[in-house]
Structure 1
Amino acid sequence: MNEEYMNVVMGIIMHGGNAKGLAYQAIQQAKEGNFDTAHESLQQANDELREAHDVQTDLLTRVAQGEVIELNLYMVHAQDHLMTAIAFKDMATEFIGQEERLQALEEK
Structure 2
Amino acid sequence: MKKDEVAMIGFEIVAYSGDARSKLLMLLKEAKSGNFTNVTEGIASVDELLKKAHESQTQMLAAEAGGEEVDLGFIFVHGQDHLMTTLLLRDIVMDMVELYQRTNE
* Amino acid corresponding to residue 83 of structure 2 in structure 1: L
* Corresponding position of 2:46: 45
Structure 2 equivalent of residue 65 of structure 1: 66
Structure 2 residue ranges without an equivalent (≥5) = none
| Structure with the higher helix share, 1 or 2 | 1
How high is the TM-score relative to the length of structure 2? 0.92
Larger radius of gyration: 1
Confirm or deny: 8 A CA contact 2:11 2:76 kept in the other structure. Answer: no
- Give, as a single letter, the amino acid of the residue that structure 2 aligns with 1:80: D
Greater relative contact order (Cα < 8 A, sep 6+): 2
What is residue 74 of structure 1 aligned with on the other side?
75
The answer as to whether partners of 1:20 and 1:88 remain within 8 angstroms in 2 is yes
Retained in 2: the 8 A contact 1:52–1:82? yes
Give ranges in structure 1 of 5+ residues lacking alignment: none
Partners in 2 of 1:23 and 1:42 — Cα distance? Answer: 7
Provide the aligned length of Structure 1 versus Structure 2: 103
Letter in 2 for 1:72: G
In 2, Cα distance between equivalents of 1:6 and 1:73 = 8
For residue 70 of structure 1, report the CA deviation from its aligned partner: 1.4
CA distance in 1, matches of 2:55, 2:37: 27
Instruction: Give a deviation string over 1:25-83, Cα, whole Å, max 9, x none.
Output: 11011112221202221111111100000000111111111111112222211100000
Structure 1: how far apart are the matches of 2:37 and 2:55?
27
**Regions of 4+ moved over 4 Å:** none
Instruction: State the TM-score, normalizing by the size of structure 1.
Output: 0.89
* Identity across matched positions, percent: 29
Contact residue 25 and residue 38 of structure 1 kept, 8 A: no
The Cα RMSD (Å) is: 1.1
